Structure 1
Amino acid sequence: MQPWGYIVLLGFVAIAFGLTLPARAKTKPADSDRQALKEVEAALELYMADIERENGELVNLLGTIKAQSQSGQAALQEQVAELKGQLEELRRTSAQVEARVAANENGLLQVALSGAAGSVRQEQTISEDKIGADRIQEENTRTASTIKPRYPQLFELHEQGKSIDYIAKKTGMQKGEVQLILQLAKQEEESV
């Protein structure tokens, strides 16, 4: 036989072998496919069991977090209620203190005004005897304008609309003192 005949014959053998190969492969892989499928199913079952266990743990964790947040929220609400009570008590106490301070300041103002009025009356009597009625009116005008020049910074801050607390801190005076001076100046302006 010639060399090309061997090649043709070898080609036919290769083709026949190639055709029989898929038939063999179909029978063997079916068993291995079943085995692989069983392994995959087993792996999926394990995976699903792990996921269910983790989901259960997450549900338990969320339950404890929810319970903790609710108890924390309840504690915060209790604290807020307690602080509101304390705030209300402080407001009542503050109102009482302010009322007492106002009463004391009014008392001091009346004492100061009555003392000032008494001294002014004495001066008026002496002045009337010596100088006359015109001199008394001039003296009242002069005493009425004496309070503002004494405290220029106080009245400047008051005219700017600053609070009594701010004025007291800025001038270094007591709050009651600032209020008294402002009230005296107001009364002096009204009397003029």
Structure 2
Amino acid sequence: MQPWVYIVLVGAAAILYALTLPARAKEGKAQIQNLKETEAALELYMADIERENDELVQLVGSIKQQTQSNQNGMQEQINELKKQLAELQTGSVQLASRVSAEEKGLGELAAAFERIIANAATSSVVTKPAEAMKEEPPAAPAKPVSSIKLRYPRLFELHEQGKSIDSIAKTAGLQRGEVQLILQLAKQEETG
């Protein structure tokens, strides 16, 4: 082939290349534009996700703090209730022991009262005039069901040892007045 054919062919190729170059540039610009738009959209999306993530972290933190403060408040209430329960139990035990002591004391006082009444009835029979004695048959003196010394041997043992009334009351678990009454009743029993 001749050199002018080569020149024409190279010129035609150059013209074709020149014609396709602006189309490629437009296509490349369109792709770059699309990439920039996609990148901008992704950045907006990432910013939204990051903002929402920060809000979520703050929300979780505030919930955790509120839960901790609620838990501390409940623990304080539980401790207060435990303290009150312990006080109530202690008071209940003390009250039960006082009631038991009072019941015991009342029982002893009732028995002592019955003995006093029985002794009074016996002494009134002795002091009746002779005329009344003739009309009524003599009544047998009322004897207590059990001697007071038999009912409280430990108390009289301590008394014989020379212990004070307060010491006897403390040891026997009785009131001071009860111990005095029991000792007086025993003295009356001995003289009667």
Q: Same fold (TM over 0.5)?
A: no
Q: Given the two structures, how large is their TM-score scaled by the length of structure 2?
A: 0.45
Q: Given the two structures, how large is their TM-score scaled by the length of structure 1?
A: 0.45
Q: Name the one with the larger helix percent.
A: 1
- Which of structures 1 and 2 has the bigger CA Rg? 2
